[in-house]
Chain A
Amino acid sequence: MPAPQCSSCHAARAALRCPRSGQALCGACFCTAFEAEVLHTVQAGRLLPPGAVVAVGASGGKDSTVLAHVLRELAPRLGVSLRLVAVDEGIGGYRDAALAAVRRQAVLWDLPLTVVAYADLFGGWTMDAVARSTAGSGRSRACCTFCGVLRRRALEEGARLVGATHIVTGHNADDMAETVLMNFLRGDAGRLARGGGLGSRGEGGALPRCRPLQLASQKEVVLYAHFRRLDYFSEECVYAPEAFRGHARHLLKLLEAARPSAALDLVHSAERLALAPAARPPPPGACSRCGALASRALCQACALLDGLQRGRPRLAIGKGRDAEGPPGPPPPPPPPPPPPPPPPPPPPRDPGSAPGPAAAGECGAACEGRCAQASL
């Protein structure tokens, strides 16, 4: 049975069905439509004014690869110039392979590439060191929290190095949907209040950031990369299985099976959330140590690093976020990883739940990873 005709150009044979509308399209028309959508998002949202120098956060993964490729195609129309900025978090066996992919892309597209490393920026703290330090001190790994905060700081630094005026990242609709689910499950009203738009305008001296792929679903991104034959690094981060986001991701997969438009529906909900003024974060000022955008005396990155330095990695995570006492002396590079802190007393088990295998960490042991008895 021959494939139907492309419903757009009516010339070529259809090669795929568009995930959003179910239309049969050929590869070229799909890619054209995808690029048109991204262009529309950027123009309607007024994200990148002409003359902007745009730092693309390139991780080597599919989202940032597609983003860089599309923006490179659209750059003449938008009147912007691109720079690639890659962040080396120091995750062995993962990040080095991904960076190789970014380097290949930079050569292929002839775009300037800058690599910023955690080890240089944050006094020798690579993600592997952070992970060793935070292991066993909670139910799920906290190192992903660190990675997110520090990476944003690193991206900012890299963008400044190349003289950029805007930062773009490749978050897609599925990422935004997972974020809003995750923030609700964790009760993070501050992040809920801040999120939802297409990016931040950049108050207080921070560079404006945006996410041009926000309205494209993950399937469309993957299809685009497939049809444009893009070379990207497709493995998962070593620490990803333990991140809390995994729950939200799993939930989103289930929701999409029940209702295909679930990701965009969640993005719409996130756009329209109305939180009480008391729950919103205070207007941002400047960090007292590094001068970056901060809601409190210390920006989150400095607070987290402080905690690591003192051997109390959970200092800036959770309720008591303010760093205690005067800031310590600047850390010498590279410090030996401090011994893991004593595990907190195990939380009382909810007796209502059926007796079953203990969730990871609940027995209070300071294990590197989740024990085999973990239920999920």
Chain B
Amino acid sequence: MCQVGEDYGDPVPEGPPPPRPGRELRCVKCKDGLPVVVIRAGDAFCRDCFRAFYVHKFRAVLGKNRLIFPGEKVLLAWSGGPSSSSMVWQVLEGLSRDSAKRLRFVPGVVYVDEGAACGQSWENRAKTLAEVKLILRSFGFPWHIVALEEVFTLPPSVLRCSAQEPLGTEGTYKVAVDSFLQQQHTVGGSPSPTQQEEQLSQPCTQDPEDPAGPPPAAHIEALSRLFDSVKTLTAKEELLQTLRGHLLLHVARTHGYSKVMTGDSCTRLAIKLMTSLALGRGAFLAWDTGFSDERHGDVVVVRPMREHTLKEVAFYNRLFAVPSIFTPAIDTKAPEKASIHRLMEGFLLRLQAQFPSTVSTVYRTSEKLVKAPRDGCAAGPRCLLCMCSLDVDTADSATAFGAQTQDFSQTQPPTPLAEAGAAPMPCCSAEVGRAQKCCQSTLLCRREDSQVIEQLCYGCRVNMKDVPSLDSLPPYILAEAQFRSQRPSQDIQEYLVENSDEEVHTTGS
């Protein structure tokens, strides 16, 4: 518009016109391209800059932590969802010949079929599996499909922490990288990469882990029974995560993978942190949400997607056509108040809309957590299910645990519960997490149940309260509980060397 009073004699001042919001906006990085996506608090990126930003974040997370050594076998846990698909895609691109500074590890992909836990019929599962196989083949890595029912055939050694491998320190990482590069040069340039590619391409044609048909009907039945008997969705989700974790660990150990990568994004980890807090797992937050989780000893779980928000993942997948597959999960279509996980998710995302820095604040707090018991007390026995050091106190301490196990209203001893023959068991003993329940219920608190409960951390105990009969747990858990409760007696305890490998090498049991 002509300005009133403009003097046409003066030259028009040169300068960039002020940016009008909505149009003429340029990519904040290259200042050149037209932006296609806005992330964070208003940063507009063009397509190429966004891709570079995304890939750089992925590489930076891996490079900063220096945990994955060149040539190492890494198992990618793929659920079909957007984050894990994006992760697999990043690894695929990172390994390709033409990428700058290609990644140097040897990947494999695993997919866990959880249909039975979600109540799906075998027909639906088979359909999903067919689609899954198509995508898995297209990746080009060795792939494995395992059904959740396989937990019924797991050995109890899954629950034992094997001897710790020393974590790569600065020195050893550099040494390993240097020697790997040297190897490549001395063998004469490209033979190792092609060797690696051969390794990768071979198993695909053989389909090593292709389950021919449905798992045994007894196992499907047992799994459905287990999940149907769990009373709350919260406990179901936790149980599912636990069993899935054990299964992944087993697959990794069997096929020689020393690392497992999971696709947890920043948003998911913030939600997971708050959820773990509410579940009583405050002691283990650093393991549950940190970059690396070495509680199993030989297999380390790594989370390379932890700095990508879900929004970035979704946009990347859409812009660059990353294949993913939707499978209904255990909480699909569940109302928001059904489980603590759903509640936290809804709460955090709503709060995020009001205070845009919520997720990143929670995430940043998670980075300040350390993997150590609070008062530096020595590592004691480990939880049977989650394999973290037990965080329970003595029953009469002035703590939340003590408050839950003690019962001050019993001014008179409870009438002995009728029992077939045997003497009344001390079901109100302090170690049993549900002392208050046994006093009033007509069911007996069984010795086997209390055996398992004693060996669980606080969070797992609260979860198991919602599982009415611990008998329906897979046999490897019950066997390990049995084994652990028969600890060597006090007499020989003093002669045993602490943390020896004796337990690991016990066959079967």
- Interface set of A (CB-CB < 8 Å, partner B): 7-10, 18, 20-23, 25, 29-30, 32-34, 36-37, 40-42, 44-45, 47, 139, 173, 180-181, 184-187, 189, 192, 196, 198, 215-216, 247, 251, 254-255, 257-259, 261-262, 264-279, 347-354, 356, 359, 375-376
Contact = CB atoms under 8 A, between A and B. Distances in A.
Nearest to B348: A185
Contacts of A376: 354
A273 B374 contact: yes
B148 to A, nearest CB: 24
Contacts of A273: 282-283, 285, 369, 374
Contacts of B407: 21
Given A33-B408, A267-B400, A274-B286, A257 B368 contact: no
Interface in B46-75: none
B368 A279 contact: yes
Given A25-B409, A139-B355, A181 B283 contact: no
A272 B408 contact: no
Given A266-B278, A269-B283, A350-B41, A185 B362 contact: yes
Contacts of A258: 232, 234, 337-340, 343
A274 B408 contact: no
Contacts of A267: 400
Contacts of B337: 254, 257-258
B397 A44 contact: yes
Given A40-B406, A181-B277, A184-B362, A350 B400 contact: no
A257 B346 CA distance: 15
Contact of A278 (B278, B286, B368, B401): B368
Contacts of B232: 258-259
A158 to B, nearest CB: 26
B340 A23 contact: no
B443 interface: no
Contacts of B458: 265, 268
A44 B398 contact: yes
Contacts of A192: 365
A192 B410 CA distance: 36
Contacts of B347: 247, 251, 254
B283 A251 contact: no
Given A255-B343, A348-B41, A23 B400 contact: no
Contacts of B281: 269
Given A9-B411, A258-B234, A269 B38 contact: no
B17 to A, nearest CB: 21
Query: Which 4 residue pairs spanning A and B have beta carbons closest together?
Result: A269-B282, A272-B283, A21-B436, A45-B398
B80 interface: no
A185 B361 contact: yes
Nearest to B414: A7
Query: Of residues B234, B410, B411, which shows the largest number of chain A Cβ atoms within 10 Å of its Cβ?
Result: B411
Interface of B: 38-39, 41-42, 232, 234, 273-274, 276-283, 285-286, 311, 337-340, 343-344, 347, 351-356, 358, 361-362, 364-365, 368-374, 391, 396-404, 406-412, 436-437, 439-440, 458-459, 462
Nearest to B363: A187
A271 B365 contact: no
B365 A189 contact: yes
Contact of B404 (A20, A33, A352): A20
A192 B369 CA distance: 10
A198 B370 contact: no
26 contacts: A21-B440, A23-B440, A25-B409, A32-B409, A33-B408, A42-B398, A180-B282, A181-B278, A196-B374, A215-B400, A266-B280, A268-B399, A268-B401, A269-B279, A269-B283, A272-B283, A272-B373, A273-B282, A273-B374, A274-B373, A276-B368, A350-B352, A350-B353, A350-B356, A353-B352, A356-B353
A262 B361 contact: no
Contacts of B436: 20-23
B368 to A, nearest CB: 4
B361 A187 contact: yes
B50 to A, nearest CB: 14
B462 A261 contact: yes
A254 B343 contact: yes
A37 B39 CA distance: 52
A8 B356 CA distance: 52
B283 A261 contact: no
A29 B41 contact: no
B362 to A, nearest CB: 6
Contacts of A271: 282, 374, 399-400
Contacts of B352: 350, 353
Contacts of B368: 189, 275-276, 278-279
A76 B231 CA distance: 46
Query: Of residues B282, B355, B374, B391, which shows the largest number of chain A Cβ atoms within 10 Å of its Cβ?
Result: B282
Contacts of B274: 181, 184-185
Contacts of B344: 251
Given A258-B339, A351-B38, A268 B411 contact: no
A180 B276 CA distance: 13
Contact of B391 (A47, A251, A272, A352): A272
A33 B462 contact: no
Nearest to B274: A184
B230 to A, nearest CB: 13
A340 to B, nearest CB: 22
A7 B409 contact: yes
Contact of B365 (A36, A184, A255, A265): A184
B277 A44 contact: no
B344 to A, nearest CB: 8
Given A44-B402, A198-B398, A268-B399, A276 B234 contact: no
Contacts of A353: 352-353, 356
A356 B350 CA distance: 12
Contacts of A34: 408
Contacts of A25: 409
Given A185-B362, A189-B365, A251-B347, A33 B409 contact: yes
B476 to A, nearest CB: 27
Contact of B283 (A255, A274, A348): A274
Contacts of A181: 274, 277-278
A54 to B, nearest CB: 17
A375 B355 CA distance: 12
Contacts of B459: 265
Nearest to A192: B365
A7 B343 contact: no
